[in-house]
């Protein structure tokens, strides 16, 4: 973690996406709790782990948590002080991730720069937050997205099963870290919302991002940087990837199997 104090104007407001399918979520069922964010990971609720990592970074200012039921925030006893101080607040989640982001941006008064992550990013550390925020701030982009290469992940966790985006020159897994750095960056989640609307009609999703980009991606003709540049140009923003040097940045808790893996990792490192 960087031992610095940043002016408040340079700090990132944070949005933690913490909505889920309630008790029907498979991870919530495995943990025997009402919502996924309450699941204990090595004895600590996932959301508390994420907020603690964020709060420990000098790059982070206030933290908003997007919840299906905002009253659930009161059940995280480890967050009582931060909630009482007003550093952590709840915002109402909407019916999709992109809509939740757009709603939260409005509720937060279009406060930029904005860091977006998820409550199931249980291995998140302040060091990862520092790295992503500093790289985002230096990028000159409107929107940044964190990714971790398969090479980095498999070197540390050879048995880890991740979903990879395949580019010319390498494969990358998403790291659940995004930044909106300018007002223009709102076009990112607005385009995401359009794609979500067409999730059962792939040809319409392709139209959102451009058939040329999709074809070049499928043929593995695009590097990671070229793909981001072309998608950004289509959307009307400068879009930049931030490649994370931490294997754990790509490991979140999407399934009971992931939960077991994360607990095993934490037992070795905590």
What is the structure's pLDDT at 1?
47
Q: Per mean pLDDT, which range of 13-17, 18-22, 183-187 is the poorest?
A: 18-22
pLDDT tops 60 at residue 222: yes
Confidence of residue 252 (pLDDT cuts 50, 70, 90): very high
CA distance 208 to 130: 32
What domains, with CATH codes, occur in the chain?
10-269 (3.90.550.10)
Other CB atoms closer than 10 Å to residue 62's CB: what's the count? Answer: 17
Please give the pLDDT value at position 78: 92
Rounded to the nearest integer, the mean pLDDT of the chain is: 90
Please tell me the distance from the alpha carbon of residue 163 to that of residue 141, in angstroms, as a whole number.
25
Per-residue confidence (pLDDT) for residue 9, from 0 to 100 = 66
67: left (phi over 0), alpha (psi -120 to 50) or beta: beta
Q: Tell me the per-residue pLDDT of 42-67, one tens digit each, with 9 for 90 and over.
A: 999 999 999 999 999 999 999 999 99
Pick the range with the lowest mean pLDDT from 22-26, 71-75, 168-172: 22-26
The stretch 230-252 carries a mean pLDDT of 95
Least confident of 22-31, 93-102, 165-174, 248-257: 22-31
pLDDT of residue 143: 97
**What is the pLDDT confidence band of residue 4, given thresholds at 50, 70 and 90?**
low
DSSP letters along 31-94, please?
HTSSSGGG-EETTEEHHHHHHHHHHTSTTEEEEEEEESSGGGGGG-GGGHHHHHHTSEEEEE--
The average pLDDT across 232-258 equals 95
- Asked if 186 and 262 touch (Cβ cutoff 8 Å), the reply is no
**How would residue 201 be classed by pLDDT, with cut points 50, 70 and 90?**
low
Using one digit for the tens of pLDDT, what is the confidence trace for 82-115?
999 999 999 999 989 999 999 999 999 999 999 9
pLDDT of amino acid 20: 80
- pLDDT: is 78 or 24 the higher one? 78
Q: What is the mean pLDDT of residues 173-194?
A: 93
């Amino acid at each position: 973690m960087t031992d610095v104090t940043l002016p408040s104007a340079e700090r990132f407001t944070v949005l933690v996406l913490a909505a889920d399918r309630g008790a029907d979520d498979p991870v919530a069922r495995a943990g025997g709790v009402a919502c996924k964010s309450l699941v204990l990971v090595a004895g600590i609720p996932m959301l508390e782990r994420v907020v603690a990592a964020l709060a420990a970074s000098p790059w982070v200012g206030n933290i908003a948590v997007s919840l299906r039921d905002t009253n659930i925030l009161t059940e995280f006893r480890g967050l009582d002080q931060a909630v009482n101080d007003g550093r952590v607040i709840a915002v109402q989640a909407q019916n999709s991730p992109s809509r939740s982001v757009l709603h939260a941006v409005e509720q937060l008064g279009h406060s930029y720069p904005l860091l977006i992550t998820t409550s199931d990013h249980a291995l998140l550390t302040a060091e990862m937050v520092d790295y992503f925020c500093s790289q985002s701030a230096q990028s000159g982009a409107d929107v940044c997205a964190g990714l971790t290469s398969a090479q980095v992940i498999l070197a540390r966790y050879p048995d880890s099963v991740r979903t990879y985006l395949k580019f010319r020159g390498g494969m990358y897994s998403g790291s659940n870290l995004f930044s909106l750095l300018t007002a223009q960056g709102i076009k990112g989640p607005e385009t995401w919302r359009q794609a979500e609307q067409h999730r059962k009609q792939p040809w319409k999703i392709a139209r959102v991002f451009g058939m040329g980009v999709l074809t070049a991606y499928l043929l593995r003709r695009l590097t990671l940087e070229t793909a981001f540049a072309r998608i950004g140009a289509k959307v009307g923003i400068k879009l930049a990837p931030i490649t994370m040097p931490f294997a754990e940045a790509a490991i979140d808790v999407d399934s009971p199997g992931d939960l077991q893996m994360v607990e095993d990792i934490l037992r070795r490192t905590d």
